[in-house]
Amino acid sequence: MNEQHTAKAFDVDLQELSRMVAEMGGLAEKQVADAVDALAKRDTTMAQRVTASDNAIDVLQHEIEEKSVLTIARRQPMAVDLREIVGALRLANDLERVGDLAKNIAKRVIALNAEFPPPKLIRGVEHMTDLVLGQLKAVLDAYARRDDAKAMAVWRGDEEIDAVCTSVFRELLTYMMEDPRNITFCIHLMFCAKNIERMGDHATNIAETVHYIVDGAPITERRPKGETEISALTGTNA
């Protein structure tokens, strides 16, 4: 009876951890969408709100860390249960970084202020954001269902984001070369694009964590890796 009671309390702990991770995921997705929306709409008020909201994500990360550690100490879980908790710790880490990257984009929107780039230049960044939000949504869904196949699909899908990032860098580079007055906002957009590309890397990390939770073994497959933004910057002055 006592053992059953402990097992039930442990299940409640795990469910609560999963819920906190899902909540954090939802907040991170919203921050990403709002930051790039603020960029596209030149909305510095919205950007201010994004920088102010980042703290809620950081607080959740600390709560997840605390709850994970207390659950391990109290319940001394083994095998799959331990993976659930270690997984929650890793997911919270990646989601915190996604939030941070969104905040950095919002800071650039505020800095751009009056000097906004032409909408057509932002379109590439928006396209990258759509892809990353799709990846984040899919991988958080894979986590909610403990669906390894879906997680692996996200893991394999990062290549497209890298490819769009490379073409965004090429386009911005052309603009900078054409007219030095374009240089500063193009650099801001490059850093924004790079931030979104890194969000994609975190979606990939999250996919690896879901695989680890469900399967218990690291991924052995090699991830398809295309060009990166670094290649867009190479050889253009040759």
**CA-wise closest residue to 204 among 146, 155, 135:** 155
- Rank residues 112 and 133 by Cβ distance to a second copy and give the closer one: 112
**If you search the block for the tokens 């269902």, which residue do you land on?**
145
Radius of gyration from C-alpha coordinates of the chain:
20
Report yes or no: 102 and 54 within 8 Å, Cβ to Cβ. yes
Report yes or no: 108 and 191 within 8 Å, Cβ to Cβ. yes
Which spans in 76-182 are helix H?
Answer: 79-112, 119-145, 148-156, 158-178
| CB 53, min distance to a second copy, A | 19
| CB 141, min distance to a second copy, A | 25
| CB 46, min distance to a second copy, A | 18
> In the chain, what is the greatest distance between 2 CA atoms, to the nearest angstrom?
76
Tokens standing for residue 81: 């249960």
| CB 177, min distance to a second copy, A | 4
| CB 112, min distance to a second copy, A | 8
Tokens standing for residue 151: 């997680």
- Rank residues 138 and 232 by Cβ distance to a second copy and give the closer one: 232
| CB 182, min distance to a second copy, A | 8
- Rank residues 144 and 233 by Cβ distance to a second copy and give the closer one: 233
The number of CA neighbours under 13 Å toward the Cβ of 13 is 23
- Rank residues 11 and 130 by Cβ distance to a second copy and give the closer one: 11
Type of residue at 66? E
- Rank residues 116 and 160 by Cβ distance to a second copy and give the closer one: 116
- Rank residues 145 and 181 by Cβ distance to a second copy and give the closer one: 181
Tokens standing for residue 140: 């958080």
- Where along the sequence are the contacts to a second copy (CB under 8 A)? 65, 69, 72-74, 76-78, 82, 85-86, 89, 93, 107-108, 111-113, 115, 173, 176-177, 180-181, 183-185, 187-188, 190-191, 194, 230-231, 233-238
